[in-house]
Amino acid sequence: MPPDSVLLADRYRLGAVLGTGGVAQVRRATDVLLARDVAVKLFRPGDDLADARRIENEICALAGLSHPGLVKVYDADPSGETPYLVLELIEGRTLRDRVTDGPMAVEDVRRVGAALADALDHVHARGFVHRDVKPANVLLDEDEIPRLSDFGLVCSADGAGLTKTGQVVGTAAYLAPEQVRGEEITSTTDVYALGLVLLECLTGHREYEGSEVEAAVARLHRPPVMPEGLSFDLVRLLSRMTALNPARRPSASECAEALRTPVADPPTLVTVPPQPRSRGLLAAASAVVLISLIGTGLSTWNSITATSSEPGTTAPATNAPATNAPATNAPATNEPVSNPARTEDFEPTPVVVQPTAPIIAPAPVQVVDHGKQAGGKGKPDKGKGKKGG
């Protein structure tokens, strides 16, 4: 690292350390040429060729990106003794610092999430995947406007040559399932991490705690827990963003649109179509029961009347319905009229409803005898009609 008394590239006077990572240190600096404060990221290249390629890749990627949701790049030198990046200085704090103060309001989470999703959409459209979306890599200025930073793990969309096969790269608490498995990395990997970041903003704590191994493997065994009280559309969006299958996740552009335009909850979650059918079935069942009761009453009344009309006998009153067997000329007895539909296994009850048995089927001779006594005609309905007329 160059000493503080020496101008970096004869232009940048280094100041306080703002942050330190695995391969770089970020320091506050002053651009003496333009008289403005900047942030300088100083890289510590090691002997590993992959580290050198990663540094060059980050510099080249940021140089080709320009978006309000990304930290601006002012200058860079990837080939010097100390490679560096000169970045926009964001006066404020990180999103991680903000979350330590407690859960954020839903409106603020939507606003921050939409801005970050827009920035990721820009990154993905240029053929890159960030691979390390987390609260510590989101800078908030004094107006709480977020900027996505730290592209140290950025890779091209096809991941060509930047990661060894099966190697896990990223922060354990925010890894997508495919990262844990060492599978192909796509733009939906960033969408998954953003979903976990937004959940953390809503709850105030990480969804997957524990050691790096525990946090990484936990997402393979259970989905994230959605906080209570969230709107239906936000629960649905976060569930899709953190889906185990990358194909089910929305794009960053779709996430931004959904976060910007909340929709009202549906009036009810009960499916409407089955309701009329249920009421129709209930009405039909009620009609069958009613008709059965009426039919049983009529057939019983016809049987009692026909039996009592035989001379020299007395038919005791009974609730048993008339039989469906053909009437014979045998004299009536004092035995109750039997019901063939009832068996010995049934307990005697006042009414037995048997929708599958004939509802009204009085014996022909009994109906004719009753009609003759009541109306003097062969058919009781017509005889009653003439009397009524």
pLDDT tens sequence across 336-346: 444 444 444 43
Average pLDDT over residues 323-351: 45
Sign of CA dihedral 197, 95, 129, 113: positive
61: number of Cβ within 10 Å = 19
Burial of 5 (0-12, 13-18, 19+ CB in 10 A): exposed
Q: Which residue is catalytic, options 10, 48, 118, 132?
A: 132
Residue 76 has pLDDT above 50, yes or no: yes
Residue 362 has pLDDT above 80, yes or no: no
Whole-number Å distance between alpha carbons of 295 and 290: 9
Average pLDDT over residues 95-115: 97
CATH class, domain 91-265, is: mainly alpha
Predicted confidence at residue 1, as pLDDT, reads 58
Each residue of 236-292: pLDDT tens digit? Answer: 999 999 999 999 999 999 999 999 998 876 654 444 455 554 455 545 555 544 455
Is 23:169 a contact under the CB 8 Å cutoff?
no
Average pLDDT over residues 87-114: 96
Whole-number Å distance between alpha carbons of 8 and 1: 10
Q: Which residues on neighbouring strands pair with residue 25, listed in sequence order?
A: 20, 42
Residue ranges covered by each domain of the chain: 1-89, 91-265, 274-309+352-381
> Looking at beta carbons, which pairs linking 75-81 to residues 24 or more positions away fall under 8 Å?
75/9, 75/11, 77/9, 80/9
Each residue of 37-47: pLDDT tens digit? Answer: 999 999 886 65
Active site annotation includes 369 = no
Each residue of 169-179: pLDDT tens digit? Answer: 778 999 999 99
pTM exceeding the 0.75 threshold for the entire prediction = no
Superfamily (CATH) of domain 1-89? Phosphorylase Kinase; domain 1 (3.30.200.20)
> Which carries the bigger pLDDT value, residue 308 or residue 247?
247
Residue 204 has pLDDT above 90, yes or no: yes
Is 215:224 a contact under the CB 8 Å cutoff?
no
> CA geometry: angle at 145 spanning 141 and 146, to 5°?
90
The terminus-to-terminus CA distance of the chain in angstroms comes to 119
Q: Parallel, antiparallel, or unpaired: how do β-strands 92-94 and 73-77 relate?
A: unpaired
Is 164:128 a contact under the CB 8 Å cutoff?
no
Computed over every residue of the chain, the mean pLDDT equals 76
At residue 126 the predicted structure's pLDDT band, cuts being 50, 70 and 90, is very high
> Which carries the bigger pLDDT value, residue 292 or residue 123?
123
Residue 350 has pLDDT above 50, yes or no: no
Is 200:133 a contact under the CB 8 Å cutoff?
no
158: number of Cβ within 10 Å = 12
Q: Outline where DSSP puts E strands in the chain.
A: 12-20, 24-31, 36-43, 73-77, 84-88, 92-94, 128-129, 138-141, 146-148, 155-156
Write out the DSSP string of 284-310: HHHHHHHHHHHHHHHHHHHHHHHHHTS
Predicted confidence at residue 287, as pLDDT, reads 52
Average pLDDT over residues 308-335: 46
Whole-number Å distance between alpha carbons of 299 and 320: 9
Average pLDDT over residues 331-356: 45
Predicted confidence at residue 87, as pLDDT, reads 94
Chain center to CA of 386: 70
Residue 90 has pLDDT above 70, yes or no: yes
Whole-number Å distance between alpha carbons of 190 and 230: 23
Predicted confidence at residue 206, as pLDDT, reads 95
At residue 311 the predicted structure's pLDDT band, cuts being 50, 70 and 90, is very low
Average pLDDT over residues 212-220: 90
At residue 89 the predicted structure's pLDDT band, cuts being 50, 70 and 90, is very high
At residue 32 the predicted structure's pLDDT band, cuts being 50, 70 and 90, is very high
Residue 56 has pLDDT above 60, yes or no: yes
Residue 123 has pLDDT above 60, yes or no: yes
Predicted confidence at residue 323, as pLDDT, reads 47
Is 170:179 a contact under the CB 8 Å cutoff?
yes
